[in-house]
Amino acid sequence: MRTPEGVTVTLVRGDITRQSADVIVNAANSSLLGGGGVDGAIHRRGGPEILAACRELRASRYGKGLRTGQAVATTAGALDAQWVVHTVGPVWSSSEDRSALLASCYRESLRVAAESGARTVAFPAISTGIYGWPMDDGARIALRTVLEVAAPPVTEVRFVLFDAQAYAEFEEALEALEAQG
């Protein structure tokens, strides 16, 4: 689908580290020093340059780490991308509404990507793995936020969904948004 700003939103199934895009977004943690899931896969395939850049960020502007909902760019190392934008999703909570923080991840990642001049941005479903966010709600927040804020120079936002269930949830959420006009 196309956003009001003319940005194309696409869904694909696969491994985000196999994508070709200007920006690949990493579902990181505030240490910026790696982890499991998407984060582990990005550092594995992207090589040590990414970790070196993250260590530099920790030694300079982000001494205390990256706050939840914020985003920062580094080299993409050996990935087929120009930058990795690291963002820290909120851990799911059933007692506290942290949706604004999850929306902030998408908004801030797109802001950082646009500042770098990126045209194509690949996102994983932030917070829906180790951080436990329910996929249907995570998909709704992701798509709603991208629809609201994506703008040139970005021309394509691609959600890269790891499995059939994630893909189906995103497809359903996208159809619901389209139906709303």
76 is a site residue for ligand AR6 (CB under 6 A):
no
79 is a site residue for ligand AR6 (CB under 6 A):
no
Of the candidate residues 106, 162, 167, 170, the single one contacting ligand AR6 (CB under 6 A): 162
Smallest distance from the beta carbon of 6 to ligand AR6, in angstroms? 26
- As a whole number of angstroms, the distance between CA 181 and CA 166 comes to 23
Of the candidate residues 8, 13, 41, 58, the single one contacting ligand AR6 (CB under 6 A): 41
134 is a site residue for ligand AR6 (CB under 6 A):
no
Q: Are 22 and 168 in contact (CB under 8 A)?
A: no
Instruction: Tell me which stretch binds ligand AR6 (CB under 6 A): 36-44, 78-86, 149-157, 171-179.
Output: 36-44
90 is a site residue for ligand AR6 (CB under 6 A):
no
List of residues 6+ apart from 32 with CB closer than 8 A:
54, 57, 58, 62, 65, 66, 72, 86
- As a whole number of angstroms, the distance between CA 106 and CA 171 comes to 18
- As a whole number of angstroms, the distance between CA 100 and CA 102 comes to 5
